[in-house]
Structure 1
Amino acid sequence: MNLLSKEEKMIKNSQIPSEFYKKYNVKKGLRDINWKGVLAGLTNISAIHSFDKEGNQIPGILEYRAYNIKDIINDLRKENRFGFEEMTYLLLFGELPTANELQGFQNLLTSRRTLPEFFVRETILTNASSDVMNSMSRCILALASYDEKVSDISIENVLEQSLGLIADFPLLAIYSYQSYVHYFKKESLYIHYPDPKMTTAENILRMLRPDFHYTEVEAKVLDIALILHIEHGGGNNSTFTTHVVTSSGTDTYATIAAALSSLKGPKHGGANIKAAKMLENIKENISNYEDDAEIEKYLHKILNKEVFDKQGLIYGIGHAIYSVSDPRFEVFKSYVETLVKEKGLEEEFKLYEKVARLAPKVISENRKIYKTICPNVVFYSGFVYRILEIPQELFTPLFAIARIVGWLAHRIEELINMNKIIRPAYESVLESKNYIKLGER
């Protein structure tokens, strides 16, 4: 009698020897030894550069529709204005808007920032979930039932659906969170409607806080966070999911629900929660923030699976694409410094700076690394959200509020350029067997 448990049978019969990946020249995770992704498609939407033409590592460059993100952010800072809506226009239409075009587009988004009558009560509040991302997924699919052209995948109709979803995502996230707080934490329920005169970042803070109050610095930092998360190439997990699902010919709502499910994972959009918790854990276990040796010793313990979540990972350090530097991290850091000064958290920020500087060195000492390691944008995200009084349950939904723009731009690009379903190959590594009759087993 086979005494193996069902779980043991599954593991035994599903494992693939690691040497087979080399034998069949299969790149695990569709990435090579330098973590560079296997080329699977072409795009006009964004570009990421971390190596030069000769293969040498260079400081990371991120471009939206061929415009360098650093130039974009510098212009926004110089003119002291919000930019998320402008970047939404750029990614969807491929061109920077004129002042009149931008104003008209902002008005269009504002007019679409409303949910069907009774939707909040009957869909969000009546079916409260302890997981905000799951609640958002259910809401997306529920919205499909209100769309008479749900299955129309013409570019004109998909654009209409896209504008509606981009406008509604902040509402779905905030209201799903409020529902969770009320029914699972037994706290007071309040539903604030968006202000049509305010930007996306301002409305998020306005709807989230009981007293509607926020500072201009807070709103500007959140706006930059949204811009830095809005798009990151066609190969990131959730955007590639968007391409794959779109290629099947399915509708916009199903596509975005699939992308949202991908983003939810702790190795993707959920990483900001892990990074925030890890940094809190470091803060609690370091007695002297000025002692580099003590910080390094604790980071070694994290890598050796002795402390924190015992997974051996320093979250927020290293990236699949960037090597020398993540431009989003560099841009975000300058805004974080402004926010930290307003909140009087300079000492805590110094600890974060030290961890960002020391962690790559510790990882290089402990791991066989084929490229330079740098902090990524996730490293500061959780810290910033905590300063902005945004609960952890909303960290990944905030990512989704931004990234849906990139998803929809890529969905439209896939619909325009491709007419084949995406279907890569998987090689079976089993030898054929003769079937055994039931009575002979």
Structure 2
Amino acid sequence: MDHNVYSEVTPEIVQLAKLSEKADIIETELFTKYDVKRGLRDLNGKGVLAGLTRISDVRANKMVDGVQVPIHGDLFYRGYNVKDLVAGFTKDNRFGFEETTYLLLFDKLPAKKELEDFTNLLSYYRSLPTSFVRDIIMKAPSKDMMNTLARSVLTLYSYDDRADDTTLPNVLRQSLQLISLFPLLSIYGYQAYSHYHDGKSLYIHSSRPELSTAENILHILRPDSSYTPLEARILDIALVLHMEHGGGNNSTFTTHVVTSSLTDTYSVIAAAIGSLKGPRHGGANIKVVQMFEDMKKEISDWEDEEQVAAYLARLLHKDAFDHAGLIYGVGHAVYSKSDPRAVIFKSFVEKLSEEKGLQKEFALYSLVEKLAPEVITKERQIYKGVSINVDFYSGFVYHMLGLPLELYTPIFAIARISGWCAHRMEELANNGKIIRPAYKAIGEDRSYTDVSDRKKSS
């Protein structure tokens, strides 16, 4: 069979797609008529309450005299402000990903011995089954690392003698193994693609047990395994800031939904990966970097506020970059005045830009951070404030670290799996019902027509 059959969109398919679209379109006014919250969000952008969680909290407003007022955002992991968590481990010159994972899973900050034992456990699990790299990752490498990651996760099911056991001890064991293996699965998948598709040298470095998760990512990825302490620290902070964001974000909600069916851990995590892959969720930081590369070509003076503001207006008018009408990295479904993750990140990003000699680029990012909300407010009617989000600076950090674009979203997954696993454990611990919201049928009843009496579609 001709390989093109798998990717060719024929005129017949285009015509059938038009027929399908015509059948599926639902008039916007019907959502209002039946009080359906599109995207499970009301007209003010507030999420529909779909569950309860102890794992994290996103705060972006407060009640003042009975009215909700926007405030600078805060993010809490198990009741601890993320600002305090980051300040704590950076003050002690420690890596934070491992202890924050412990916090999310077990609802407590680990004592020194507990943290040491937990870190050793993660290191113990950070090895793939024999020949897995050769037989699975190296075969049919995909151009999309998230698809490669999902395929690898689903394949690990076959190596687990207790894959379908959903008791909490077994699911915790599976969770810790996946948290440990995500860096290997992601980076080895990229190395295979880079070798077979781009003709680059193939490097498969083994992880080192004495290194943190952030250090191992850089060690495994780079040909010479070298990195500076600042590079590893900032990547670690990026992982901590991305690892959890409440139960309502798309991939975490997916985790709850699929877990509620009592399926296996590998299927749940693969579904979450599929959600995170979407450009509306996990792929935004790639767009930020690409947008800035275009901006740097289009603007002659990066310090000229009028030129920068004019380019941002062109973005909104669909006259620049990808013509989508968006300024990537600006705006968030929940935060309005500020995204705490971006605020925390910014000072560390500035230090890395100095180490890399990219102060001019950092200044441009800072200028866009200042001007973008002003331009958006002038050009569009918005129901709440707008500010930069964590993707705005994370893409710049990954660019400075020399990470390939193909790994930007997998790095997000390497962080977020800690949150996914915590939410899976929470869903199972509460033995909740299968999640099944209602959809109202609005089609009309029709009488069956014999095939000889049916009219051909126009």
**Cα-to-partner distance string for 1:255-310 (whole Å, 9 max, x where unaligned):** 00000000000010111111111111111111111111111111111111111111
Pairing partner for 2:19 from 9, 13, 20: 9
The residue that corresponds to 1:51 in the other structure is 61
- Tell me which moved more, 386-395 or 362-371: 362-371
SS in 2 for 1:62: strand
Q: Distance in 1 between matches of 2:373 and 2:168?
A: 45
**Cα-to-partner distance string for 1:350-383 (whole Å, 9 max, x where unaligned):** 1101111111111112222000001000001111
**Within-5 A mapping of 1:31-430:** 31-54=41-64, 55-430=68-443
Output the amino acid matched with 1:87: T
- Tell me which moved more, 42-51 or 363-372: 363-372
- Tell me which moved more, 245-254 or 18-27: 18-27
Q: Which runs of 5+ in 1 are unaligned?
A: none
Output the amino acid matched with 1:35: G
Q: Distance in 1 between matches of 2:431 and 2:61?
A: 28
Does 2:32 align with 1:22? Answer: yes
Output the amino acid matched with 2:22: K
Q: Distance in 1 between matches of 2:381 and 2:443?
A: 31
SS in 1 for 2:71: strand
Q: Distance in 2 between matches of 1:90 and 1:127?
A: 38
Q: Distance in 2 between matches of 1:419 and 1:86?
A: 28
User: What's the TM-score, normalizing by structure 2?
Assistant: 0.94
Q: Distance in 2 between matches of 1:397 and 1:276?
A: 16
Output the amino acid matched with 1:11: E
The residue that corresponds to 2:6 in the other structure is none
Output the amino acid matched with 1:216: P
Output the amino acid matched with 2:433: K
Shift of 1:434: 2.1
Shift of 1:207: 0.6
SS in 2 for 1:88: helix
Q: Distance in 2 between matches of 1:364 and 1:356?
A: 13
- Tell me which moved more, 396-405 or 428-437: 428-437
Q: Distance in 2 between matches of 1:143 and 1:353?
A: 43
Question: Equivalent pairs: percent with the same residue?
Answer: 56
SS in 2 for 1:189: coil
Output the amino acid matched with 1:301: R
Q: Distance in 2 between matches of 1:34 and 1:346?
A: 38
RMSD: 1.0
**Cα-to-partner distance string for 1:373-416 (whole Å, 9 max, x where unaligned):** 01000001111101001000000000000000000000000001
Shift of 1:436: 2.0
Q: Distance in 2 between matches of 1:418 and 1:321?
A: 29
Q: Distance in 1 between matches of 2:258 and 2:147?
A: 19
- Tell me which moved more, 118-127 or 391-400: 118-127
Output the amino acid matched with 1:341: E
Q: Which runs of 5+ in 2 are unaligned?
A: 1-13
SS in 2 for 1:309: coil
Q: Distance in 1 between matches of 2:143 and 2:16?
A: 30
SS in 2 for 1:145: helix
Q: Distance in 1 between matches of 2:213 and 2:197?
A: 27
SS in 2 for 1:282: helix
- Tell me which moved more, 232-241 or 25-34: 25-34
Q: Distance in 2 between matches of 1:361 and 1:347?
A: 22
User: What's the TM-score, normalizing by structure 1?
Assistant: 0.98
Q: Distance in 2 between matches of 1:419 and 1:132?
A: 33
Q: Distance in 2 between matches of 1:103 and 1:134?
A: 33
Shift of 1:221: 0.3
**Cα-to-partner distance string for 1:108-144 (whole Å, 9 max, x where unaligned):** 0001000000000111012311111111111101111
Q: Distance in 2 between matches of 1:108 and 1:81?
A: 18
Q: Distance in 2 between matches of 1:116 and 1:290?
A: 52
Output the amino acid matched with 1:234: G
- Tell me which moved more, 144-153 or 431-440: 431-440
